[in-house]
Amino acid sequence: MEGPILSIAHELPALLSTVRTPGDFYTAGVIELSLPRLTVQGVGAVALPLLPVQAEQLIAIADRAPYGRGTETIVDTSVRRTWQIRAERVRIEGASWARTLQTIVERAAMGLGVTTPVAAQLYKLLVYDAGSFFVEHRDTEKAAGMFGTLVVALPSIHTGGELVVRHKDREARLDLQGQDPSMAAFAAFYADCVHEVLPVTSGCRLVLVYNLVRQGPGRLPQPPNYETETRRIATLLAAWGAGEWRPEDEAPAKLVYSLEHAYTPAQLSFQDLKGVDAAAAAVLAAAAQRSGCELHVALLTIEESGSADYSGYAGHSWPDDEEDEFEIVEVCDRSAVLSNWRCPDGAAAEFGAFPVENIELCPPDVFEDMEPDAQEFHEAAGNEGASFERTYRRAALVLWPGSRRMEVISAAGLPVSLPWLAGLARRWEESGAGTNSALWKEAHELAGHMLQGWPEAGDWPRHGEAPGTAATMLATLTQLQDAARIDAFLAGISAAGDYGKTDNEALLGALALLSPPRVAALIERIVRANATKDPGACADLLCRGAAAPSVRPPARDLLATAKALLDALPGNPACAQPQPASTWRRSAAPDPELVADLVMAFERIDASLAEQAVDHLLAWPGTYDPDAVILPAVRRLASEAEARSKPGVQRLRAACVQHFRARTAEPLEPPANWTRPARLDCRCAHCTGLASFLGDPIQRTWTLKAAETVRTHVASTAQRCHCDVNLATDRNGRPYSLVCTKNQASYERRARQRREDLQDLERLA
């Protein structure tokens, strides 16, 4: 290839545009078979699938199949060992057989690229028992107008007997067996192709052989010859795969070539492609094989939405003759996704949903003048202007260099790459191979691409990937025993802020593969980077890390980490002003788990640091509430044998006892009159009336006759400020009335708290 290719996404479709006629030197497929009535003279009706006893009967009346050498017809079992039954002794009947055979012939003609009418003439019924074969040979012309051979393999149980077809420097190996007894396999090839039948190793192979004959005058069909195009495309793809591009050239990691015909997901396979699509796929498949590229067919779905201008009927689905009823102003959102993947052999490829970039489309502007498959227009409503939504669905050939496979999978995003990596790890583990195996190297390469493209951690909560994404990655790397990738993940991703408490179990399992000094260094980096936004996760990590036998570094190596966590705790006394809990992010608000993990981590690392941590916790009761935070933490710690005797735990327990004793020492008497607390946060005239009512020692009930908005406001104030009143609406007369009746809710709350405090004191004692 001379000169640089500025855009392979433009060059490739330009080359493929010259490939218009489908066909190859051979074709093959399977078809559902309504079992015909097969009758052989001398045997009678033959059951399908073929029974062993009837195979013996067929062989008994068959002749040894000869082969042609020049003008001679020779029987030589060293060249051809099989049995033949002449066509005149074979009858195939059944209501659907004629239609089935016609379908097979049509598919064979299309696969061979024959556009003129074709007929199939039964030549022979062949029986290949165990050991039968036919060495490579070419078929001779057996009828006027014959240009090819059609082989239909009837249902039979056997192994071996594959058909190998060669043409020039290409070869196809075909195993003509249906997937189940209701399927028949077939193959067709041009008469000048060298072919052979490999030995049958067990069972019996039963095939019908037809001559494919041109109907009418003219030249005999020939396989389309796209060798020049194939060679040029292969050279182009080889340069793409080798990275022979200048920095300014456009060379995406994968290419998506949109096909012309419409296909449903059920029809999406290489075998079902039509016309020019089949022609392009055949040439591209040959070029991909030569250049080391991988080729698949998939369903491409493009969805667009945005603003529109419209002045007409406000419908939804638009017929073609009304396409100009509205005009697209701007495409605001666009997504392109590949799904329903199929391999060239017809098997499903488990790739999932791959995103597609414009630069990867062949050519990138392929959809600009194409009609969408679905389109909806929405009239302006409220503050929103008119908008549209439209969808394109096309089958596409998807191509990438084999050397860039892991890069392509990684670029599809974590929902695709993470399961793929897990699958590689599972297969590697099951294989029992070492880290020099191809599977392990693939997984290592894919993990490297994934780390390079890992989504950046944004504001808390995490960047939006599925919960447990980081943990799954770490667990998979641990399964692979890939210490290098583990180190890179923890240093570059966890320590960069993409970290949460749910990662800790997998994180500690991964750290077991690293040296103790490196473990301590990574834990410190992770804690320093995340202590402010999620101290609970960091305390849990430090607590686990200081205790886990598999990763435990020396306590002195974790001392700096513990100090960093202590300095980052909410309510730091070193700050000039107190830090109220409301100023922190909700996810970072102190909870009992933070306190318990913190104290135990520090006790395991350094006793004096644990004392400082307890001092900090007790110095900020507004942050570390004795009832909501400290007491539940003490309960958990007291249930653990290692923890309950630690000095820090004992100090927290003593603080709780002192707190409860002080509160239970306060007087607790029911109200002597109807005066109730009136700590209201509203000073409007109506709420002032409520406050006067609450302060009155004699009045028990107050009625406010007012509009609904006033009643709602006063009721909301009473509820928000926890007033000791029951609220009811009197619907007699207009407007309705709000009836407030005093109760003893505050006293009852204190009494309930007293009972709970006494129970807690008993448990703590």
Bridge partners, residue 746, by sequence: none
Is residue 253 over pLDDT 50?
Answer: yes
Does any domain span residue 310?
A: yes
For the segment 65-106, what is each residue's pLDDT rounded down to a tens digit?
Answer: 987 776 677 888 899 999 999 999 999 998 889 999 999 999
Pair 243, 387 in one domain: yes
pLDDT of residue 158: 93
Look up residue 241 and give its two tokens.
């795969």
Which of the residue ranges 180-184, 698-702, 727-731, 745-749 would you say has the lowest mean pLDDT? 180-184
Does the residue 18 lie in any domain?
Answer: no
Question: Residue 164: inside a domain, yes or no?
Answer: yes
Give the tens place of pLDDT for each residue, 641-680: 888 888 999 999 999 899 889 889 988 999 999 999 999 9
**Would you say residue 443 has pLDDT above 80?**
yes
Q: For residue 178, give the CATH number of its domain.
A: 2.60.120
H/E run at residue 661: helix 647-664
Q: Which CATH number characterizes residue 709's domain?
A: 3.30.1370
| CA-only gyration radius of the chain, Å | 40
- Does the residue 726 lie in any domain? yes
Pairing of strands 170-174, 90-93: unpaired
Return the C-alpha torsion angle 286, 289, 295, 296, nearest 10: 70
Q: Give the model's confidence band at 383: pLDDT under 50 very low, under 70 low, under 90 confident, else very high.
A: low
Statement to judge: residues 609 and 705 lie in one domain: no
The one-letter code for the residue type at 63 is: D
Per-residue confidence band for 467, with pLDDT thresholds at 50, 70 and 90: low
First to last CA, the chain: 88
In 619-663, the DSSP E strands lie at: none
**40-49, 155-164, 325-334, 638-647: least confident range:** 325-334
What is the per-residue pLDDT for 307?
Answer: 85
DSSP annotation of 550 reads T
Q: CA separation (Å) from 477 to 185, 424, 512, 516, 745? A: 44, 11, 12, 18, 57
Structural domain including 739 reads 685-743
Instruction: Render pLDDT for 330-348 as a digit per residue (tens, 0 to 9).
Output: 888 889 999 999 998 888 8
**Minimal CA–CA distance to 185: which of 55, 22, 31, 311?**
31
Of the pLDDT bands very low, low, confident and very high (cuts 50, 70, 90), residue 421 is very high
Residues 32, 92 share a domain? yes
Regarding whether 509 and 451 lie in a shared domain, the answer is: yes
**Last residue of a domain, which of 214, 249, 267?**
214
Element (H, E) at 431: helix 414-431
Residue 25 has pLDDT above 90, yes or no: no
Co-location of 510 and 555 in the same domain: no
Structure tokens at 260: 């012309």
Q: What is each CA distance from 74 to 69, 70, 135, 148, in whole angstroms?
A: 7, 10, 14, 22
Report if residue 598 sits inside a domain. yes
Residue where the block lists tokens 């009947």: 93
Q: From 473, 488, 514, give the residue that closes a domain.
A: 514
| Of 16-25, 122-131, 628-637, the least confident | 16-25
* pLDDT above 70 (res 476): yes
Q: What is the pLDDT of residue 411?
A: 92
pLDDT at 468 over 80: no
Q: How far is 653 from 634, CA to CA, in rounded Å? A: 6
Determine the average pLDDT of the residues in 230-246. Answer: 85
**Greatest mean pLDDT range, 68-72, 462-466, 726-730:** 726-730
The domain tally of the chain equals: 5
pLDDT at 380: 73
User: What backbone torsions phi and psi does residue 506 show, to the nearest 5 degrees?
Assistant: -65, -35
Residue 279 belongs to a domain: yes
Nearest of 386, 453, 19 to residue 233 by alpha carbon = 19
Please check the confidence at residue 9 and state whether its pLDDT lies above 90: no
Same domain flag for 483 and 623:
no
Report helix, strand or coil for 280: helix
Q: What pLDDT was estimated at residue 252? A: 87
- Tell me how far apart the alpha carbons of residues 55 and 85 are, in angstroms, rounded to a whole number: 12
CB-based contacts of 334: which residues, under 8 Å, 6+ apart?
A: 302, 303, 304, 305
* Residue owning tokens 């104290």: 599
248 Cβ neighbours under 8 A, 6+ residues apart: none
For residues 453 and 412, is the Cβ–Cβ distance under 8 A?
no
Residues 384 and 478 in one domain: no
Instruction: Tell me whether residue 557 is in a domain.
Output: yes
Average pLDDT value over all residues in the chain: 87
The neighbouring-strand residues paired with 731 are: none
Which of 484-488, 644-648, 728-732 is the least confident region?
644-648
Q: Say yes or no: 247 and 328 in one domain.
A: yes
> How far is residue 313 from each of residues 323, 379, 386, 390, measured CA to CA in Å?
12, 9, 13, 18
SS (H, E, C) 171-183: EEEECCCCCCCCE
Whole-angstrom distance, CA of residue 410 vs CA of residue 415: 10
Q: Please list the alpha-helical segments (H only) found in 88-226.
A: 97-112
With cut-offs at 50, 70 and 90, classify the pLDDT of residue 245.
Answer: low
Residue 350 is classified by DSSP as -
How many whole angstroms separate alpha carbon 61 and alpha carbon 75? 17
> In this predicted structure, what is the pLDDT of residue 206?
96
Q: How confident is the model at residue 5 (pLDDT cuts 50, 70, 90)?
A: very low
Q: Which of 367-376, 381-390, 411-420 is least confident?
A: 381-390
Q: Are residues 737 and 756 in the same domain?
A: no
pLDDT (mean) for 371-388: 78
Answer yes or no: do 387 and 472 share one domain: no
Q: Does the pLDDT value for residue 579 go beyond 70?
A: no
- Examine the domain organization and report whether 452 and 314 are in the same domain: no
Do 651 and 701 sit in the same domain of this protein? no
pLDDT of the residue at 3: 44
Phi first, then psi, for residue 696 (nearest 5°) are -80, 120
pLDDT reading at 459 higher than 70:
no
396: left (phi over 0), alpha (psi -120 to 50) or beta: beta
pLDDT value, residue 310 = 62
Contact 69, 112 (CB under 8 A): no
pLDDT band at 243 (very low <50, low <70, confident <90, very high): confident
- Average pLDDT in the 437-447 region? 96
> Which has the minimum average pLDDT: 78-82, 312-316, 410-414?
312-316
pLDDT value for 580: 46
Q: Does residue 266 sit within a domain?
A: yes
CA–CA distance, 212 with 144 (Å, rounded to integer) = 10
